[in-house]
Amino acid sequence: MLAIIQDEVRRLKEKYGDARKTQIIAEEGEIGYEDTIEQKDMVITISHAGYIKRQEISAYRSQRRGGKGVIGARTKEEDYIEHLFIANTHAHLLFLTDRGRCYWLKVHEVEQAGRMARGRPLVNHLEGLSRDERVQAVVAVKEFDDQHYLVCATRKGLIKKTVLSAYSHPRKGGINAILLEEGDALIEAIVSDGTQDMILAKKKGLAVRFHESEVRATGRTSYGVKAVTLDEEGDEVVSLVGGRRQATLLTVCENGYGKRSEISEYRLSHRGGKGIITIKTTERNGDVVAVKEVVDGDELMIITRSGQLIRMPVAGISVIGRNTQGVRLVNLAPPEGEAGDDASPAEPDEADQGEEPSH
């Protein structure tokens, strides 16, 4: 029987045998869970009580400035939205807390929810985060390398720069991001390439601008250096911006007013100064709550403490001088105040052709 089989196989080879048309190669890698997730930008919102969620940018239609907006997140009566920003689904989120600790999370691991949902408690995502620990800043990072830095600013006017790769392997219980003096707190953190101008804005309407080279890179477990002088009672640093010369600086006040000014109007000085006026903090405007770097192609998203969100083209906000009061950006129902804002890439959408507010 084996001889018959050999004979038949030999005849098949002589009749049909030819060169192999396929090539067998070693497997070069496996398809992971992240490979199945589409890369797209999402709106991340975090409330004061610690609820986090992500939504698609398309959930918000574009409006003209002065509009009333749409509900961006439903919150409890005593809660309000504190952080709002744009991040890619494949990016990492670094959560920096009031204690100077850093926690790590992927954007796609954040629960996606609708506009009316509150989201999930942040403590359910970050295992090591204690109930009495509060997230002060959130940074989206695509890659951890030695060419970029994490720059942190504190409420008392200190600044610290650390190479980004130092934050690439956080433990479950978090890692030290910055050491803080008693009574101080981290208020902002940004990623820089080491060549930017740093702009720190104060609550009472002043801002100081200096080159990043004046801040030398230090390790994670170190204190910051003095960035700005606080000489007015009740004053504190509210924002840190990495300035580009071709951009403008958007200032938003607690009563819904704001404006844009050219960054070139902020003279380059040295760290440790008192700063110059960025906006007049009059009774109409209130104190400064946020300062952001924007360009004409961006869109501005402002969310109030009650969860009302408005999205508008930045190009619709006039560029005016530093020493001015600005214009109304959003109508607020007293005693509501701003909670946060973010500049995002413009999305094609219908614009609301409602009537312009008078002011």
pLDDT of amino acid 7 = 95
pLDDT of amino acid 349 = 39
| Average confidence (pLDDT) over 333-341 | 62
Q: Which three-class secondary structure string do you get for 3-47?
A: HHHHHHHHHHHHHHCCCCCCCCCCCCCCCCCHHHCCCCEEEEEEE
Of 22-36, 69-83, 260-274, 345-359, which gets the smallest average pLDDT?
345-359
Q: Which residues of 302-313 are buried (b: 16+ CB within 10 A; e: fewer)?
A: bbbbbbbbbbbb
Q: How much of the chain exceeds pLDDT 90, in percent?
A: 22
| pLDDT tens-digit map of 242-273 | 876 678 899 999 988 999 998 888 888 999 99
User: What are the domain boundaries of the chain?
Assistant: 41-345
pLDDT of amino acid 75 = 53
pLDDT of amino acid 22 = 84
| pLDDT tens-digit map of 164-174 | 999 888 777 78
Chain centroid to Cα 305, Å, comes to: 18
Residue 352's pLDDT band, with cuts at 50, 70 and 90, is: very low
Give how far Cα 112 sits from Cα of 99, 104, 109, 247, Å: 28, 18, 9, 32
Residue 143's pLDDT band, with cuts at 50, 70 and 90, is: confident
Cis before 313 (ω within 30): no
Q: What is the DSSP letter of 173?
A: T
Question: Which class for 116: exposed (0-12), middle (13-18), buried (19 or more C-beta within 10 A)?
Answer: exposed
Q: According to DSSP H, which parts of the chain are helical?
A: 2-16, 122-125
* Cβ contact 54:342 at 8 Å: no
CATH homologous superfamily for the domain 41-345: DNA gyrase/topoisomerase IV, subunit A, C-terminal (2.120.10.90)
- Statement: residue 198 has pLDDT above 90: yes
pLDDT of amino acid 139 = 86
